Amino acid sequence: MSIGGILSRSIWVFHFASGPCNNCDIEILDALTPRFDLERFGIKLVGSIKHADCMLVTGMINVKGAPRLKYLYDMAPKPLAVVAVGGCACSKGIFKDSYYTRGPVDRIIPVDAYVPGCPPRPEAIIDGIVKVVKKLRSV
């Protein structure tokens, strides 16, 4: 099996939140519940960026969060896929005119997949992960 094939079968996800309204975070947890059960695809949530293969970013990135996001990205073991979840992370969303935003995510680190929605449904998050899987398989 190719490197991408293996990577796509065991994706450990680290969740980074910086200034979300918290809805997106709850939808991400929803994707792990019995109804959707992402562990079927070998996806699990880990607590340390050092274990992660994929970073989910939610929220408009605020002034405090931006340098930390960059720092986490730099210290993660590569290859690492980045997914921007929610309207905020993709395009600042409702926080467009906020004085406190430094987002969206792709202004700070490269993003592999966008999941728009406010908040995106768990199906949409799974769809975003499928996009990442396809991208990994084609490596």
Partner 1 sequence: MVLFYYVVFPGFLAVFVAGGIASWVERKLTARIQARVGPPFLQPFYDIKKLFIKEITIPEHSTRSIFMFSPVVAFAAVTVVSTIVGLNLINRAYGFNGDLIVCVYLLLIPSVCVVLGASASGNPLASLGASREIKLVLSYELAFWTSLAIPVLKTHQLKLASIMGFQAQNGAIASSLSGIIAFIVAIICMQAKLARVPFDIPEAETEISGGAYIEYSGPLLGFFKITQYMMLVILPLFLLEIFWGPVNSPVGILKYLLLLFIIIVLENTNPRLKIDQAVKFFWFGLFPLGVIGIILAMLGM
Instruction: Using CB under 8 A, list all residues that contact partner 1.
Output: 3, 6-7, 9-10, 34, 37, 39-40, 42, 46-48, 50-51, 53, 75-79
Residues whose CB falls within 8 Å of the CB of residue 71, separated by 6 or more in sequence, listed in order: none
Residue (39 or 123) nearer to partner 1, CB: 39
Nearest Cα to Cα of residue 54 among 98, 9, 1: 9
Contact 73, 99 (CB under 8 A): no
Q: How many residues does the chain have?
A: 139
Residue (4 or 91) nearer to ligand SF4, CB: 91
Nearest Cα to Cα of residue 101 among 139, 136, 63, 71: 63
Q: Which stretch, 29-37, 71-79, 80-88, 99-107, contacts ligand SF4 (CB under 6 A)?
A: 80-88
Residue (8 or 104) nearer to ligand SF4, CB: 104
Name the binder of 75 from partner 1, ligand SF4, none, CB < 5-8 A by kind.
Answer: partner 1
